[in-house]
Each structure stands twice: as structure tokens, then as C-alpha cells.
Structure 1
Amino acid sequence: MDLLGKLYSIDEVSEMLKVDRRTIERWIKDEKLTAMKLAGTLWRIREKDLNYFILEALEEGRR
């Protein structure tokens, strides 16, 4: 059983969304994108949290 699912690094998400890694870091800091810190320094974003973030952004764009 895979409890966390696929995990992405900030750099991977940055590349997927074609935005600067500092933008991803700001979204995490502003709690717009849910992420978890592993080993005190490594940020990881769960695939389901990334999908939710993208869907929310699409909905926001429709308003």
C-alpha cells in the first residue's frame, strides 16, 4: 500500500508547470500549494495535492 502516492520535488513541479522554482516556494509559503518537508530540508509535493492545486487554479481562472 502506497500511503503517500507519487511525490514530486520543487524542481520537478517547477518544470511541469513551467514556472520558476521560487514561484513554487512562494505558493508553498503562502499555503496555496500543500507540501511536506522531509528530513528537515527536502520539500515534496504529493501528486494528489498538485492535482488539487491545478484544478483550483483552473476554477479561479474561470471566475
Structure 2
Amino acid sequence: MLYESFEVAIYALLFWWGILLAFKRFPSNYTHNNTWKKDISVTFIQSVVLLATFQIIVYFQ
């Protein structure tokens, strides 16, 4: 297992969520008029999928 405890998994989720939200919301050429709610929900789903993908990669290594 990649994460030792549930707390570490939550910290990893929050870290990736913050990184993905920053790259989604604050680019220099942001032309789309998305709401904060949409950006937060999309990046949350992306971070959950990213952490699940990490688990699959570690399992098959």
C-alpha cells in the first residue's frame, strides 16, 4: 500500500487537489468562465482518480 494511514492519504488528496486547482484556476491565459464550484469539483475528482492510479501502479510494480 502506498499510504501508511488514512491521515496520510487525506494529506496526499489535499495536496494534489490544491496543485490541480491552482493549475486549473490560475493560468496566465485563463479564458473560460468556469465557476469556483465547477473547478473545485472537477479537480477533486481528478485528484481522487490520480491517487487511485498511483495505487494501481504500486500494486503492479
Q: TM-score range by the shorter chain?
A: 0.3 to 0.5
Structure scoring higher RCO (CA < 8 A, sep ≥ 6) equals 2
Give the TM-score taking structure 2 as reference length. 0.38
The answer to which structure has the higher helix fraction is 2
Q: Which has the larger radius of gyration?
A: 2
The answer to which structure has the higher strand fraction is 1
Give the TM-score taking structure 1 as reference length. 0.37
